């Protein structure tokens, strides 16, 4: 399996998303992790957003290691700061 790093280039963005829109997408993906593809998530969001703006959010979430795409191209939420805190409190050393 080959790992490919996502390149996030904010200078290519024509329209930046608002914070409430980013949080809406994050919350939806967390609740429905692994169920929907990129386009399906966009279609099912509680509020409509421009597809280009939505793609910017998805690029950012992937770049910041909050989401990944599985083999079926479905979006999976992987960000777990509480789990990391628990591991670090037990003496795990991160290099």
pLDDT single digits (tens) 28-80: 999 999 999 999 999 999 999 999 999 999 999 999 999 999 999 999 999 98
- What the chain holds in terms of domains, given with CATH numbers, is 10-89 (1.10.10)
SS3 29: helix
The sign one gets for the Cα dihedral 89, 90, 91, 94 is negative
Would you say the pTM of this structure is higher than 0.85? no
At 43 the pLDDT is 98
At 10 the pLDDT is 65
Residue scoring higher pLDDT (10 or 25) = 25
Whether pLDDT at 1 is above 50: no
The sign one gets for the Cα dihedral 43, 45, 50, 51 is negative
């Amino acid at each position: 399996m080959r790992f490919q790093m996502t390149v996030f280039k904010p200078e290519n963005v024509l329209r930046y998303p608002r914070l409430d829109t980013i949080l809406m997408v994050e919350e939806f993906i967390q609740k429905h992790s692994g169920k929907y593809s990129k386009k399906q998530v966009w279609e099912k969001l509680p509020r409509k957003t421009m597809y280009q703006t939505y793609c910017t959010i998805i690029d950012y979430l992937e770049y910041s290691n909050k989401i990944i795409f599985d083999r079926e191209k479905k979006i999976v939420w992987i960000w777990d700061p509480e789990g990391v805190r628990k591991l670090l409190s037990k003496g795990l050393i991160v290099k």
